[in-house]
């Protein structure tokens, strides 16, 4: 979970297997995702211009002179991007429910989202977590559609999925389905808000699901710290309570108070699920008139209870006052060191047109030359900084500056705080003309980015707009968070000064220091007046007391603690950004007259050193280009030392290139080096660049120059090393199901380097080792590059030749052999290990059934089978049997070998969970046999629709094409081939596949169970911890007896599928 989300106070209660993502702001919400477990990190970081943290507002309706509640807004008044061909309409129903309709003739999907202005802060006394619990319950049947999980199952059968999340003051539900199923799905969706069921049996069972979710999050530092923030806020404000819920808050406490939780659910829904605080967005390829008729028919019956956006708690202050002006020291689960300065500030959304706090976040979060972060990195004290508005209510908000410290920087945390205040003083002293120039550059860039904003997933987009309707008037719903509406003015400059002087000072701040318990500086508690406490819900340990002495004065006294580096490095406002482009430079090129609209990339350069692919594409209407650059090397995957050295090389590159990367990002460009692929080999270094075509070549050249001339000195080496070690050490705190997947991969993949081995290799690496690795890497690499978008073939080839010249002295070597173990037929192997996190209560099971090498037929049939099986897993194991919060089935593809994997995370013993998974598989065969023709065809059509889904943007198209290049298959029409296979697939063929590979008596059943044993299971077994598992239990066929084989002996004894190219 990203730091933004704990400050948002969001809860994601229903895991989906089709799509695991974090919902944050892009158009309205920007999409952020954590690096995958196997990733090497990313150069991309949050943009300091945009709010780094948003959320938790009370539904303040912004009433400008043009918008009054009850008046629909004409389509022409809704501002949209220049490249957006969709049609929009704002509708207000007689019951005051508001909706934005979107007609997209090109969409293959239909989607909708409902944002309800009620959340955790509205939980009734004695039933903490009820809003979140109710959100779960709406998916378990309604009076019109009473079957449990029928909505999920229907969406799944229609090529879609559904989900929901609960924040402090909003609850948002959303779904996506095949376009021709939108109307029927909306009918089912509307029943959530008109006739919920809340069955007694479902109520009892789903409490355990909420409790399982809470158990999953007990070790999550961000949730723990957010709960500390809540617990230490105004005790009279509902923010001070527990929001997500567990068995104690939803069962034990209410029962002790004589409360009937089911009745509380009914009362809560009746009271708060009112049309006047509901905002709906529907996206489909039907006409606006037709969809408007649907809205009136289906949602016109939602009752209007006149709840209103301003509730009792919206008149109270959660932040500010004596209790707010305190120092907190929190002990994390992971090894983390951060210092956060948090100010009580004015509400954000009321000033959305001028955005003074967003402009301040742009300045404070800046990472270029002269920035706070650049200075702290130069000192070796910090690695990251995030700044911006946080939780916002109608009468207040928070503004935070959070710095990730190094071990060297932790003792100087107070100096870091002083530097922050020094920069605030610098901004306060800046001239009007300086501010005006910076504001204009930021405003012009945001305006350009909005004009050329591309498409997103339909459900993400509808979800963002529904949420935006609770913030902005409908005419600004698409752009409210993305642009500065007004030019810089004296009034805005004065407003910025008012915020700085009235709100951003020590007497109006909360200070949070996060530090390992044994490293807490004595200076953190020098203010006294405090005590150590333990949070009731997560068990988080923290100290709360008075601010340190140097912060008990005014700003000038704080700034006096700051002194510049002896080398004269000073803080300064952001410099002019050379990456910023202008509308006159954003020109769409004319496609070649001979180009086929369905053309495939051309190989423009084919040499020993460089292979360059190009595809001209302006079909998205954007003057942008996407580039994927792969530097192939045998060094990174032949040994763990090589893998560790590549990680360190990337960390050094990130540190050295960070200022440049940030300036590019501010201008609408991006560069990413996550260096990770789920399904294709990545031997070496992969870089992805996106952005405006006129500036992207400059970014590519600067990135290559930074890599080729990379200066690795002792200071930057030590910072990179600490960052990598910290990441590897904290991997043990991943969720148990993630550990189960890694354990499975450890047996299957060769080479495979565990995070423990990588950590040891990084610790052993010396500066001389890394410098030598860099020289060897650059002298033995070959280049593969793909350029897609608004770039002519001649220009693309010119860049490819430059890349070739950059590595002209390289002597490429053969790439490493990446292979997958071939499990034995009719053999079940069980590899059980203890959870690396000794305090995590949950266990996990990953049951992998191997099929074999990929073919179009196998891929199509597995996708279809998983389409049906995943929903059965979720419904049976998660909802009905309540095994745990996470339960999913997926097709697992790695290095050309495919199979089926079922993963479950549960508080129950892994042995019992494994039995339940196998029982499900056994019963699923009967389910397949009983499927009638219509049901089967529905699943086939659903799977086909997913395969036919067009690329939504340039980046996704470039990624899809490069996947074919990286795997050496070059099947750029792969989706069409899979669709052809699916159309010829019968139920008998699926049964044949199941009987051959997945049935308990299948002749080619090759089973690998990876089990992680958590604290609860160990306690139940009456066992202590013994460390990692050293043996694999193997059972042949239907035999009961198991044979124990040493782990290394078992792995080395397996045959391997043919090596990948």
Going by DSSP bridges, is the β-strand pair 1006-1013/827-834 parallel, antiparallel, or unpaired?
A: parallel
pLDDT at 954 over 50: yes
Determine the average pLDDT of the residues in 274-295. 97
Can you give the pLDDT at residue 569?
57
CA 183 to chain centre: 30
Contact between 481 and 355 under an 8 Å Cβ cutoff? The reply is: no
Contact between 1007 and 917 under an 8 Å Cβ cutoff? The reply is: no
451-496: pLDDT as tens digits = 999 999 999 999 999 999 999 999 999 999 999 999 999 999 999 9
Can you give the pLDDT at residue 562?
47
Determine the average pLDDT of the residues in 211-234. 96
Q: At which residue do the structure tokens 């993630």 appear? A: 738
Can you give the pLDDT at residue 703?
97
Largest CA distance in the chain: 83
Burial, 315: exposed, middle or buried (Cβ in 10 Å; 0-12, 13-18, 19+)? exposed
Can you give the pLDDT at residue 637?
82
Nearest to 843 by CA among 746, 909, 911: 909
Contact between 1006 and 849 under an 8 Å Cβ cutoff? The reply is: yes
In this prediction, residue 817 has a pLDDT band, given cuts at 50, 70 and 90, of: confident
Can you give the pLDDT at residue 149?
87
Percent of the chain scored above 90 by pLDDT?
79
pLDDT at 56 over 70: no
Query: What is residue 850's three-state secondary structure?
Result: strand
Query: What is residue 997's three-state secondary structure?
Result: helix
For residue 359, what are the contacts with CB-CB under 8 A and spacing of at least 6?
Answer: 438, 439, 442, 484, 496
Query: CA 579 to CA 201: how far, in whole Å?
Result: 59
Can you give the pLDDT at residue 1059?
53
Query: CA 665 to CA 690: how far, in whole Å?
Result: 10
Query: CA 823 to CA 125: how far, in whole Å?
Result: 55
Question: Which DSSP symbol is given to 38?
Answer: T
Going by DSSP bridges, is the β-strand pair 1055-1056/819-822 parallel, antiparallel, or unpaired?
A: antiparallel
Can you give the pLDDT at residue 24?
27
Determine the average pLDDT of the residues in 389-418. 94
**Cβ density class 574-590: b for 16+ within 10 Å, e for less:** beebebbbeeeebeeee
Q: What are phi and psi of 470, to 5 degrees?
A: -85, -10
Q: What are phi and psi of 617, to 5 degrees?
A: -155, 115
Query: CA 24 to CA 3: how far, in whole Å?
Result: 11
Classified by CATH at the fold level, domain 583-735+761-806 comes out as Cytochrome Bc1 Complex; Chain A, domain 1 (3.30.830)
Determine the average pLDDT of the residues in 182-205. 96
Sheet containing 827-834, strands listed edge to edge, beginning at the edge strand earlier in sequence? 886-894, 897-906, 843-853, 1006-1013, 827-834, 1031-1036, 1043-1046
pLDDT at 286 over 70: yes
Classified by CATH at the fold level, domain 327-452+484-559 comes out as Cytochrome Bc1 Complex; Chain A, domain 1 (3.30.830)
Going by DSSP bridges, is the β-strand pair 843-853/109-116 parallel, antiparallel, or unpaired?
A: unpaired
What tokens appear for 920 in the block?
A: 């499900």
304-325: pLDDT as tens digits = 999 998 888 988 999 987 789 9
For residue 990, what are the contacts with CB-CB under 8 A and spacing of at least 6?
Answer: 861, 864, 865, 928
pLDDT at 539 over 70: yes
Query: What is residue 636's three-state secondary structure?
Result: coil
Query: What is residue 316's three-state secondary structure?
Result: coil
Query: CA 996 to CA 510: how far, in whole Å?
Result: 62
Can you give the pLDDT at residue 72?
74
Neighbours of 490 (CB within 10 A): 9
520-535: pLDDT as tens digits = 999 999 988 899 999 9
829-860: pLDDT as tens digits = 999 999 999 999 999 999 999 999 999 999 99
Alpha helices (runs of H) in 273-412, residue ranges in sequence order: 288-299, 356-364, 372-379
Query: What is residue 996's three-state secondary structure?
Result: helix
Supply the pTM of this predicted model.
0.90
Q: CATH second-level architecture of 823-1056?
A: 2-Layer Sandwich (3.30)
Positive or negative, the CA dihedral 557, 560, 561, 562 is positive
Q: Is the peptide bond before 751 cis (omega within 30 degrees of 0)?
A: yes
Query: CA 214 to CA 771: how far, in whole Å?
Result: 46
pLDDT at 819 over 50: yes
Instruction: State the DSSP string of 60-78.
Output: -----TT--TT----GGGS
Q: 10 or 442, which is more confident?
A: 442
Determine the average pLDDT of the residues in 232-243. 95
pLDDT at 269 over 80: yes
When the candidates are 3.30.450.20, 3.10.100.10, 3.40.640.10, 3.30.830.10, the CATH number that belongs to 3-44+62-308 is: 3.30.830.10
65-101: pLDDT as tens digits = 223 345 677 776 899 999 999 999 999 999 999 999 9
Can you give the pLDDT at residue 1031?
80
pLDDT at 141 over 50: yes
692-741: pLDDT as tens digits = 999 999 999 999 999 999 999 999 999 999 999 999 999 999 999 999 99
Positive or negative, the CA dihedral 1041, 1046, 1052, 1057 is positive
Alpha helices (runs of H) in 348-481, residue ranges in sequence order: 356-364, 372-379, 413-429, 432-451, 458-468
Query: What is residue 848's three-state secondary structure?
Result: strand
Query: CA 572 to CA 54: how far, in whole Å?
Result: 27
pLDDT at 288 over 70: yes
Q: What is the mean pLDDT of the chain?
A: 88
Query: CA 531 to CA 543: how far, in whole Å?
Result: 6
pLDDT at 806 over 70: yes
Positive or negative, the CA dihedral 742, 747, 750, 756 is positive
Query: CA 41 to CA 63: how far, in whole Å?
Result: 43
Give the start-to-end residue ranges of the domains of the chain: 3-44+62-308, 327-452+484-559, 583-735+761-806, 823-1056
Same CATH topology for 3-44+62-308 and 823-1056: the answer is yes
738-751: pLDDT as tens digits = 999 999 999 999 98
In this prediction, residue 5 has a pLDDT band, given cuts at 50, 70 and 90, of: very low
Determine the average pLDDT of the residues in 319-347. 94
pLDDT at 599 over 90: no
Percent of the chain scored above 70 by pLDDT?
89
Determine the average pLDDT of the residues in 177-182. 95
> How far is residue 194 from each of residues 93, 122, 162, 274, measured CA to CA in Å?
15, 20, 18, 10
pLDDT at 4 over 90: no
Going by DSSP bridges, is the β-strand pair 327-331/531-534 parallel, antiparallel, or unpaired?
A: unpaired
């Amino acid at each position: 979970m990203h730091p933004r989300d704990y400050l948002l106070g969001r809860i994601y209660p229903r895991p989906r297997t089709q799509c695991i993502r974090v919902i944050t702001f892009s158009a309205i919400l920007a999409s952020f995702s954590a690096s995958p477990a196997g990733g090497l990190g990313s150069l991309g970081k949050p943009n300091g211009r945009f709010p780094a943290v948003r959320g938790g507002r009370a539904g303040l309706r912004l009433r400008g002179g043009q918008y009054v509640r009850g008046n629909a807004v004409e389509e022409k008044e809704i501002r949209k991007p220049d490249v957006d061909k969709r049609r929009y309409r704002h509708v207000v129903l007689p019951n005051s429910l508001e909706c934005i309709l979107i007609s997209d003739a090109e969409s293959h999907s239909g989607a909708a989202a409902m944002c309800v202005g009620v959340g955790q802060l509205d939980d009734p006394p004695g039933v903490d977590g009820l809003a979140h619990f109710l959100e779960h319950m709406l998916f378990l049947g309604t009076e019109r559609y009473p079957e449990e999980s029928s909505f999920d199952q229907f969406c799944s059968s229609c090529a879609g999925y559904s989900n929901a999340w609960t924040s402090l003051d909003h609850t948002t539900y959303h779904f996506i389905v095949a376009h021709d199923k939108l109307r029927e799905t909306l009918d089912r969706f509307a029943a959530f808000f008109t006739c919920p069921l809340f069955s007694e049996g479902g109520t009892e069972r789903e409490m355990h699901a909420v409790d399982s979710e809470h158990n999953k999050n007990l070790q999550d530092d961000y949730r723990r710290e957010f709960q500390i923030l809540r617990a230490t806020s105004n005790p009279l404000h509902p923010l001070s309570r527990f929001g997500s819920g567990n068995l104690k808050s939803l069962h034990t406490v209410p029962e002790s108070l004589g409360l009937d939780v089911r009745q509380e659910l009914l009362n809560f829904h009746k009271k708060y699920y009112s049309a006047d605080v509901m905002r709906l967005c529907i996206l489909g390829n039907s006409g606006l008139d037709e969809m408007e008729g649907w809205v009136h028919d289906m949602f016109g019956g939602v009752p209007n209870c006149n709840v209103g956006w301003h509730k009792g708690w919206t008149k109270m202050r959660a932040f500010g006052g004596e209790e707010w002006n305190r120092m907190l020291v929190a002990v994390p689960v992971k090894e983390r060191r951060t210092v956060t300065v948090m100010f009580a500030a004015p509400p954000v959304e009321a000033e959305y047109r001028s955005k003074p706090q967003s402009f301040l976040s742009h300045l404070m979060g800046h990472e270029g030359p002269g920035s706070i972060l650049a200075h702290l990195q130069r000192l070796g004290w910090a690695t990251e900084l995030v700044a911006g508005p946080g939780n916002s209510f109608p009468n207040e908000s928070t503004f935070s500056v959070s710095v990730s410290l190094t071990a060297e920087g932790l003792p100087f945390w107070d100096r870091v705080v002083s530097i922050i205040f020094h920069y605030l003083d610098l901004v306060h002293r800046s001239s009007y003309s300086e501010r005006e120039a910076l504001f204009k550059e930021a405003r012009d860039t945001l305006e350009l980015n909005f004009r050329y904003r591309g498409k997103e997933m339909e459900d993400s987009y509808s979800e963002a707009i529904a949420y935006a309707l609770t913030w902005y008037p409908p005419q600004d719903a698409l752009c409210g968070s993305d642009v500065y509406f007004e030019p810089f003015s004296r009034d805005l400059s004065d407003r910025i000064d008012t915020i700085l002087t009235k709100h951003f000072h020590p007497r109006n701040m909360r200070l949070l220091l996060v530090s390992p318990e044994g490293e807490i500086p004595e200076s953190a508690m020098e203010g006294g007046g405090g005590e150590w406490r333990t949070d009731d819900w997560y068990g988080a340990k923290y100290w709360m007391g008075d601010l340190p002495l140097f912060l008990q004065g005014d700003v000038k006294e704080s700034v006096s603690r700051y002194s510049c580096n002896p080398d004269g490095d000073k803080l300064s406002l952001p410099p002019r950004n050379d990456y910023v482009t202008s509308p006159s430079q954003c020109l769409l090129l004319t496609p070649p007259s001979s180009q086929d609209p369905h053309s495939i990339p051309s190989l423009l350069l084919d040499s020993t050193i460089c292979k360059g692919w190009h595809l001209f594409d302006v079909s998205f209407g954007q003057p942008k280009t996407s580039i994927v650059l792969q530097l192939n090397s045998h060094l990174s995957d032949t040994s763990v030392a090589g893998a560790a050295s590549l990680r360190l090389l990337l960390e050094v590159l990130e540190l050295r290139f960070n200022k440049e990367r940030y300036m590019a990002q501010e201008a609408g460009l991006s560069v990413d080096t996550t260096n990770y692929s789920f399904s294709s080999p990545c031997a070496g270094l992969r870089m992805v660049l996106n952005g405006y075509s006129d500036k992207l070549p400059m970014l590519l050249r600067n990135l290559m120059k930074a890599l080729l001339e990379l200066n690795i000195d002792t200071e930057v080496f030590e910072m990179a090393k600490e960052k990598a070690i910290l990441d590897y050490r904290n991997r043990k705190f991943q969720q148990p199901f993630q550990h189960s997947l890694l354990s499975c991969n450890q047996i299957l993949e060769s080479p495979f380097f565990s995070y423990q081995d990588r950590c040891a290799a990084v610790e052993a690496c010396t500066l001389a080792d890394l410098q030598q690795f860099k020289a060897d890497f650059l002298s033995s690499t070959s280049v593969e590059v793909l350029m897609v978008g608004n770039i002519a073939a001649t220009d693309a080839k010119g860049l490819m030749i430059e890349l070739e010249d950059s590595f002209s002295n390289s002597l490429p070597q053969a790439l490493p052999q990446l292979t997958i173990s071939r499990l034995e037929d009719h053999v079940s192997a069980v590899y059980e290990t203890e959870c690396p996190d000794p305090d995590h209560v949950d266990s996990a099971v990953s049951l992998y059934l191997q099929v074999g090498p990929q073919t179009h037929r196998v891929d199509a049939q597995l996708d279809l089978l998983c389409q049906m099986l995943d929903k059965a897993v979720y419904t049976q194991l998660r909802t009905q049997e309540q095994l745990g919060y996470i339960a999913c089935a997926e097709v697992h593809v790695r290095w050309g070998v495919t199979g089926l994997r079922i993963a479950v995370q549960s508080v129950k013993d892994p042995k019992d969970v494994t039995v339940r998974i196998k029982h499900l598989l056994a019963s699923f065969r009967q389910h397949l046999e009983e499927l009638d023709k219509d049901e089967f065809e529905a699943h086939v059509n659903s799977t086909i629709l997913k395969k036919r889904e067009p690329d939504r943007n340039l980046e996704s198209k470039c990624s899809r094409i490069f996947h074919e290049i990286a795997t050496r298959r070059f099947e750029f029409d792969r989706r069409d081939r899979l669709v052809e296979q699916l159309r010829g697939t019968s139920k008998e063929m699926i049964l044949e596949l199941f009987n051959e590979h997945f049935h308990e008596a299948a002749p080619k059943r090759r089973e690998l169970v990876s089990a992680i044993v958590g604290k609860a299971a160990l306690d139940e077994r009456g066992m202590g911890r013994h460390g990692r598992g050293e043996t694999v239990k193997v059972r042949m066929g239907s035999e009961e007896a198991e044979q124990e084989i040493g782990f290394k002996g078992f792995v080395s004894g397996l045959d391997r599928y043919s090596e990948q190219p």
